[in-house]
Chain A
Amino acid sequence: DTEVTQTPKHLVMGMTNKKSLKCEQHMGHRAMYWYKQKAKKPPELMFVYSYEKLSINESVPSRFSPECPNSSLLNLHLHALQPEDSALYLCASSLIAGGPNEQYFGPGTRLTVT
Chain B
Amino acid sequence: GESVGLHLPTLSVQEGDNSIINCAYSNSASDYFIWYKQESGKGPQFIIDIRSNMDKRQGQRVTVLLNKTVKHLSLQIAATQPGDSAVYFCAEKDSSASKIIFGSGTRLSIRP
Chain A interface residues (CB < 8 Å from chain B): 4, 6, 31, 40-43, 45, 48, 50, 55-56, 90, 92, 97-100, 102-108, 110
Contacts and interface: CB of A to CB of B under 8 A. Distances in A.
B61 interface: no
Contacts of A110: 41
Nearest to B94: A98
Interface residues of B, number: 24
Given A42-B89, A42-B105, A106-B43, A100 B95 contact: yes
A39 B80 CA distance: 25
Contacts of B45: 105
A14 B112 CA distance: 43
A42 B103 CA distance: 7
22 contacts: A42-B89, A42-B102, A42-B104, A43-B89, A45-B100, A48-B99, A90-B43, A90-B44, A92-B43, A98-B97, A98-B98, A100-B49, A100-B51, A100-B93, A100-B95, A102-B49, A103-B34, A103-B46, A105-B43, A105-B46, A106-B43, A107-B43
Q: What is the interface of chain B mostly: helix, strand, loop, or mixed?
A: loop
A53 to B, nearest CB: 12
